[in-house]
């Protein structure tokens, strides 16, 4: 019987136990656990395909646990050949390496076959940001649709102002409850829970506070009974991340933006603009919730890119 390559191989009990530990003990986000789930399913699929190509019928669990470094290297090459980028392969290898490390701690394998493997390099892409003028135009301009529900416009305005004001991740904003309003309005700060359950406190600016006041005055007209979410949909339940993404996309179109605007772009713009004005990399790192300063340093490249553009336009000897 031939292997159906359109369906991913099911996960092994050991893999499910590993993912459960990531979710329950290490408290990784559901999105990260879901990505690891797909990566482990891909590993099983590749192992099954390899066994079929060799004409063997080894039990899938046994074959996966007995894979060696040269097997993993070949799998990485196969995925790269199928179009996966170096960044995607790095995440995949991280999932596999973590799983084999877990197996090692359980005493099921002697060595980690992924330990010394590195993904192929990919070109580094700087994050897309809006200029200060573009951001002001996006957030300040009134919508052109008179028929649009002004109460939902208040909600969207509050969401986008808060994203830009505090540099929140989309998941962090969507998970805010209504009790967050107290500290936002009284202390000018918001407490959020980021990656790996790490909590941080971020300042909230005046414009975002004003927008949130307007939304708080009409939220009760939408929120279902006992709904604790700060931002709710027309149906009264918590607004999903997908709905926030779509709302921002439509908002940008109505405001005449020629750029595809997404929530993370507002986070990138927040970081870039604060760094350009202050030059304080550590403060930006704290506000973004980055575990490593290396993650924040990419915004220094954006800042230099901006300076280089100014130089090219202004310096009399910059152009031929």
| Active site residues per annotation | 169, 195, 264, 267, 290, 299
202 phi and psi, to 5 degrees? -125, 140
Q: Are strands 189-193 and 199-203 parallel, antiparallel or unpaired?
A: antiparallel
CA angle 151, 254, 258 (to 5 degrees): 145
CA dist 215 and 52 (Å) reads 59
Tokens of 15: 């893999």
Tokens of 82: 């199928």
CA dist 267 and 281 (Å) reads 15
Half-sphere exposure (Cβ direction) of 29: Cα atoms closer than 13 Å: 12
CA dist 296 and 289 (Å) reads 9
Beta bridge partners of 190: 202
Helices H / strands E in the chain, number of each: 15, 2
> To 10 degrees, the CA torsion angle through 161, 188, 132, 299?
-110
Tokens of 169: 């991740």
Half-sphere exposure (Cβ direction) of 43: Cα atoms closer than 13 Å: 32
Which DSSP symbol is given to 198? -
């Amino acid at each position: 019987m031939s292997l159906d390559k359109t369906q991913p191989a099911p996960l092994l009990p050991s893999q499910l136990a590993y993912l459960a530990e990531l979710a329950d003990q290490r408290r990784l986000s559901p999105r990260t656990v879901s990505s690891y789930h797909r990566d482990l399913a891909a590993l099983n699929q590749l192992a099954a395909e390899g066994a079929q190509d060799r004409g063997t019928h080894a039990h899938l669990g046994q074959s996966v646990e007995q894979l060696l470094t040269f097997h993993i290297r070949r799998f990485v090459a196969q995925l790269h050949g199928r179009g996966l980028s170096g960044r995607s392969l790095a995440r995949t290898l991280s999932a596999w390496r973590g799983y084999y490390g877990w197996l090692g701690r359980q005493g099921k394998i002697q060595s980690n076959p992924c330990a010394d493997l590195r993904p192929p390099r990919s070109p580094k892409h700087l994050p897309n940001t809006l200029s200060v003028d573009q951001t002001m135009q996006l957030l300040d301009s009134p919508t052109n649709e008179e028929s649009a529900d002004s109460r939902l416009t208040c909600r969207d305005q509050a969401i986008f102002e808060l994203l830009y004001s505090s540099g929140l991740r989309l998941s962090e904003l969507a998970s805010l409850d209504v009790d967050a309003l107290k500290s936002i309005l009284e202390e000018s700060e918001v407490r959020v829970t980021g990656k790996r359950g790490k909590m941080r406190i971020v300042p909230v600016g005046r414009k975002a506070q004003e927008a949130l006041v307007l939304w708080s005055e009409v939220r009760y007209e939408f929120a279902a009974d006992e709904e604790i979410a700060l931002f709710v949909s027309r149906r009264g339940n918590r607004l999903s991340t997908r709905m926030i993404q779509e709302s921002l996309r439509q908002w940008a179109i109505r405001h005449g933006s020629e750029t595809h605007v997404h929530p993370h772009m507002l986070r990138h713009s927040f970081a870039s603009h604060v760094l350009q004005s202050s030059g304080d990399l550590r403060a930006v790192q704290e506000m973004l919730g980055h575990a490593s300063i290396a993650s924040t340093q990419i915004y220094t490249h954006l800042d230099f890119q901006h300076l280089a553009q100014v130089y090219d336009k202004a310096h009399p000897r910059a152009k031929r």
